Amino acid sequence: MKYSISIKNIMFKTGIMSLLQNAPLQNAAILRYHAVTDAENNYYSSPSIAVSPHDFEIQVKYFAQNCNVISLDTLAECILSKKKFPKKSIVMTFDDGYQDNYSAYQIMKKYKIQGTFYVAAGCLGQGETLWLFEVIFLIQQTKKLVLYLDINNENLQFPLSSKSEKMYAMRKITEIIKSNNLETRENIRKQLRIKLNDVNDLNDKAKQVMLSWKQVKEMSDNGMTIGGHTMTHINLPNADYEDAKREIYECKSLIEEKTGKPVKHFSYPNGGNYDYYNDTIMQIIKQAGYLTSTTSNNGLVNMNSRLLELSRIRITNNLSEIVYQTACEPFVKKMLRRD
């Protein structure tokens, strides 16, 4: 059932959401952020996963004043011990490790709240270029009108003469990469660099996209949790088994080396309408020593949630939408089921 944004705004402004937040539902919300940047500065991530710094601070201020912002360690402890979550519990999480997350951390520090930052460890600092950025930036910046790619012996053509055509090409190529193994991904990246060679500043821009290890260490030393997100943002179920295992294990080891702290939390990359984790991958996660792993499945967590399959709430710029999903929607659905 769909609810209009206007209804959610009315509920938020009239205090109905606050009333429903006190309903006796034993849930906690894990919020799922990615980039925190203004649209005009966003040359590196999909607009659909970006929140502006202005709206982010509004959200953080609200959470600090109205919620219990807890750590993933606390949430996991509650689930393991079947202990009730603190009232109005939320966990703030960030995927990928974008440079703008450092600004998000500073806002959170200002309001004295904590969060978990899942990083694609092999892409931080002067590491490997994040392939998601590479696809977006090359297609956005090229002046070429058509892109031809040979993918798994299939010749594909992508018109690039308009913004909508470029958006389609970015979306489709991203889907193809996520649906294939590491070898296919690297082949596509090589073709993109060759065929869109009119874009000259890719390497310079790539150095500005991700967090540095110095920033990650500072964040870790100041109460933020650093979690794993693979080495290079690979789609794990579609990777060869050994590649998937290496990406999971090496990510953990590298973060521990750089921060000097154990890494207990993981987030499956490449969520969407296709497999991005499965039982085999969850078994590798467990064997690697992770305590929890979060998904891109939209929903709340409760005492019966599986620690390696934790749902999250997708974040938008709209605060009332977030509060509705975390506090009211479960209550409303429960009431509707009684009818």
Query: pLDDT tens track of the chain, all 339 residues?
Result: 444 444 455 444 434 345 335 544 578 999 999 999 998 888 898 888 899 999 999 999 989 998 899 999 999 999 999 999 998 899 999 999 999 999 999 999 999 999 999 999 999 988 999 999 999 999 999 999 999 999 999 999 999 999 999 999 999 999 999 999 999 999 999 999 999 999 999 989 999 999 999 999 999 999 999 999 999 999 999 999 999 999 999 999 999 999 999 999 999 999 877 789 999 999 999 999 999 999 999 888 999 999 999 999 888 766 656 665 655 555 445 434 544
Residue span(s) of the chain under CATH 3.20.20.370 come to: 27-125+209-338
**How is 151-192 classified by DSSP, letter by letter?**
ETTEEEEEE-SSHHHHHHHHHHHHHHHHTS-HHHHHHHHHHH
Burial of 304 (0-12, 13-18, 19+ CB in 10 A): exposed
Q: Which fold has domain 27-125+209-338?
A: TIM Barrel (3.20.20)
pLDDT in tens, 280-323: 999 999 999 999 999 999 888 999 999 999 999 888 766 656 66
Beta carbons of 203 and 164 less than 8 angstroms apart: no
Q: Report the share of the chain in percent with pLDDT over 90.
A: 74
The alpha helices in the chain, defined as continuous H runs, are 5-14, 16-21, 53-66, 72-81, 101-110, 131-141, 163-178, 182-195, 202-206, 213-221, 241-259, 279-288, 319-323, 329-338
pLDDT in tens, 170-182: 999 999 999 999 9
Q: Is the pTM of this model over 0.85?
A: yes
Which neighbouring-strand residues pair with 313?
Answer: 31
- Using DSSP's 3-state secondary structure scheme, residue 31 falls into strand
**CA atoms 277, 282, 284, 285: torsion sign:** positive
- Using DSSP's 3-state secondary structure scheme, residue 224 falls into coil
